[in-house]
Structure 1
Amino acid sequence: MTNGEGAEAEVILVVDDDPDILRVVQVNLSLHGYRVLVARSGAEALSLVESQRPDLAIVDLMMPHMDGLELTRRLRADPMVTALPIIVLTAKALTSDKVAGLAAGADDYIVKPFDTSELVARVKATLRRIQEAREVSPLTGLAGNTRIQQEIYDRLHAGTEYAVCYIDIDRFKSVNDAYGFARGDDFISALARSLRRATIAAGLPPAFLGHVGGDDFVVVCHPDQVKPLTTKAVVDFEAAADELYDPVDARRGYLELTDRRGRVHQVNLVTISIGVAVSTARTYRHPSEVVAVASEMKSLAKKHQGSYVAFDRRVERPALPNQRMPETDTAPADDLKP
């Protein structure tokens, strides 16, 4: 669940035996768009967790019968909610209490009495951090779709110029078919490293790199950074890919694949296609619009031989009164092959 306009509110479970604390936390979190569940004991909290599946729990350490440490340990031991983010509340500012909460499995802590603005800020930060951690690709370590969308959204609303590059590997299936998925993962990892080196080399402002999934990646950068960044990525990846092929395939420059009927086909070695959408050409209102155009340009790039970068150069033209918007023009893509 996500918090925001048109989305279902995130659910926060607050566990405290003090009704005044419960009321203050519930009111303040509700004002910030969260749906708040309250429990006055550890046992009540465990029952709620089974039926409600909250997105985050705020747990008081000092409670009778089952204290916050024990509740945190039980939540961490439950495979259904083991990844539930937990913030513990403690009335003591002692380091030992903070350490005990974190050692039990808490993600953060707040000392009572607390400022409500700090509480809300820590809830937001913990939810964001956990969401991003869940979406990080286990193969490449790069941020996933939510972080990619947020990066584009931030640049779109900042009013600064930006470009979105959509990248994937051409004929990637041939690698899996010839060598298996483990070798295919090596090619994906090689592309991730090449793109990372290219984004770092692009300098300032910092370029962003995300992993959509499979062999698909997204780079968000300034328009002036696109050409040097993609040129470096292409050269770097093609050199890295050459080292991943079996020597015989690398020497002859193609793969030999046998289909189900026993026929042998020659398949060219992998390259990459990159589609680029730029904010200077047209006005985008949502990140999905930018990604769609970049993806469209990537499809255009795939129609060309070798690694290729296709820029969207279509420019919006204002429509005259009572006149339909004319069709946009498309300029040829830039071939970056040496």
Structure 2
Amino acid sequence: MSTDMVRDIGDLGPEPEQRPDLILVVDDDQDIAGFVEFNLKMEGYDVLRAADGEEALRVIQDRRPDLAVVDWMMPGMNGVELTRRLRAEPLTSTLPVIMLTAKSMTADKVVGLRSGVDDYLVKPFDTFELLARVTNTLQRNKEFREVSPLTGLPGNSRVRREIHDRMRAGGEYSVGYIDIDRFKSVNDVYGFDRGDEFITALARCLHKAVTTIGPPSIFLGHIGGDDFVFICAPDQVLPLTKRTVTDFEQAADRLYDPGDAERGYIEVPDRRGNKNKAALVTLSIGVAQATVEGRTFTDPRVVIAVASEMKKVAKSQPGSYVAIDRRRAGGDGDE
């Protein structure tokens, strides 16, 4: 396995060392702020404190916390105004906020929700409720960040964890890497909005194929652009890819302008104004397999690298093509 192949999929490298989540507590009542800080630290979180909204903005600019626990009633800038300020700035717009408040009226909660608050804690609250809401809000935010906004599928870090979990569980599994051939020509001729339609069409076709095949569970990921990953049992690979290819080619035909679809190619202008013919899109799919009689893997990077290598093999073939790695080896070092 070449080092170039591993660099191609650097985004799917080993998990970085995880630091504790950093939580900012914003409250002018030092007793309450101290209580919240103590319990969060006991749970393993790192904690910063600010006494008001202005100080909180300065702290956030310097440290970038993962979550803010904010009191509603504070002198100067209250919690609602602080939240509005956070939502208005691109770098802090997704920072999750839990509001501490004595207000329990529905109208007051609506005001907070409209400002962008993620959750509430009504005073007085107990330690277990505080920790539960912090944990749940952090988890929801992390899951949201890991999902492609275009397809709704999980991204690189979630793909890496799923492969790692399959390795740890043992048994047989396959990892497929899907790429749309000549996708750049679609963007060049029709623009990025039409290109996004091709990407979402592929996501829908994959979902449909997974639903048709049924259990065991098949994992789907979108790792950027027109690149997708699936993780499944080895005997699911061919049914999944066959159904996906058939449905996607039909869907893609409908996304081209009628004249282009009918003649079977589009004309792509180059820098000199010449028009070059580009065939309609197809799919190249590379598959790495961990099987009893074949390879075993201990590093998610290597699995993806093998699938990427096989995808390049598929691209060398005409039309949509599935290339499956069937080489036998004892482990990662035998490639």
Post-superposition Cα deviations, 1:251-282, rounded to whole Å, max 9, x if no partner, equal 33333445445665443322101112233243
Task: Report if the CA contact (8 A) 1:132-1:144 is conserved.
Answer: no
List per-residue Cα deviations over 1:18-47 (Å, max 9, x = no partner).
434333433443355432111233333233
> What's 1:307 paired with?
320
Q: Is the 8 A contact 1:90 1:97 kept in 2?
A: no
Paired with 2:78 and 2:275, the residues of 1 have a C-alpha distance of: 68
| Match among 230, 238, 244 for residue 255 of structure 2 | 244
Question: Using a 3 Å threshold, how does the CA distance of structure 1 residues 299 and 32 change in structure 2: closer, same or farther?
Answer: farther
Displacement, 1:183?
A: 2.8
Q: Secondary structure at the match of 2:286?
A: strand
- Offset at 1:13? 0.4
Equivalent position of 1:130 in the other structure? 141
Q: Select between 267-276 and 43-52 the one with higher mean Cα deviation.
A: 43-52
Q: State the Cα distance separating 1:284 from its structure 2 match.
A: 3.0
C-alpha contact 2:296 2:330 (8 A) present in aligned 1? no
Distance 1:150 1:60 in 2: 36
Equivalent in the alignment of 2:12: none
**Structure 1 residue 243 displacement after superposition:** 1.9
Which residue identity lines up with residue 255 of structure 1 in the other structure? I
Structure 1 unmatched ranges of 5 or more: 320-324, 329-338
Within a 5 Å distance, the mapping from 1:279-318 to structure 2 comes to 279-280=290-291, 281-317=294-330
Q: Taking every aligned residue pair, what percent have the same amino acid on both sides?
A: 60
Q: Offset at 1:237? A: 0.6
Q: Is the contact between residue 99 and residue 120 of structure 2 (CA under 8 Å) also seen in structure 1?
A: yes
Within 5 Å, which residues of 2 pair with 1:205-224?
205-224=216-235
Query: In structure 2, do the counterparts of structure 1 residues 90 and 224 end up closer, same or farther at CA, with 3 Å as the change threshold?
Result: farther
Q: Does 1:109 align with 2:120?
A: yes
Per-residue Cα deviation, 1:100-150 (whole angstroms, up to 9, x for no partner): 433432101234444545433433332232233344334333332233333
1:156-186 deviations in whole A, cap 9, x for unaligned?
3344543221101112222233333333222
Letter of the 2:318 partner, please give it. Answer: Q
Determine if the alignment matches structure 1 residue 89 to structure 2 residue 95: no
Name which of 215, 220, 243 aligns with 1:204: 215
**Which AA in structure 1 matches 2:159?**
I
If the length of structure 2 is used for normalisation, what is the TM-score? 0.81
Residue in 1 that maps onto 2:53: 42
Could you tell me whether the CA contact under 8 Å between 1:10 and 1:54 is conserved in 2? yes
Specify the SS of the correspondent of 1:140: coil
Who is 1:21 aligned against? Answer: 32
Quickly say closer, same or farther: Cα 1:154–1:95, change in 2 above 3 A.
farther
Structure 1 residue 218: Cα displacement: 1.4
Q: Secondary structure at the match of 1:276?
A: strand
Q: How many residues align?
A: 319
Partner residue in 2 for 1:195: 206
Correspondence for 2:167 among 138, 148, 156: 156
Q: For residues 77 and 250 of structure 1, what CA distance do their matches in structure 2 show?
A: 44
TM-score normalised by L of structure 1: 0.80
With over 3 angstroms needed to count, the CA separation of the structure-2 counterparts of 1:306 and 1:21, relative to structure 1, is same
Shift of 1:53: 2.6
Give the number of the structure with larger relative contact order, counting CA–CA contacts within 8 Å between residues 6 or more apart: 2
Secondary structure, aligned partner of 2:329: coil
Name the CA shift for 1:261/1:59 in 2 (closer, same or farther; >3 Å). closer
| Aligned match of 1:332 | none
**Aligned-pair CA distance for 1:301:** 1.3
Q: Contact between 2:67 and 2:138, CA under 8 Å: does it hold in 1? A: yes
Distance 1:259 1:49, change over 3 A: closer
CA distance in 2, matches of 1:155, 1:91: 46
- Residue ranges of structure 2 left out of the alignment (5+ in a row): 1-14
Contact 1:200 1:206 in 2 (8 A): no
Please provide the CA RMSD for this pair: 3.1
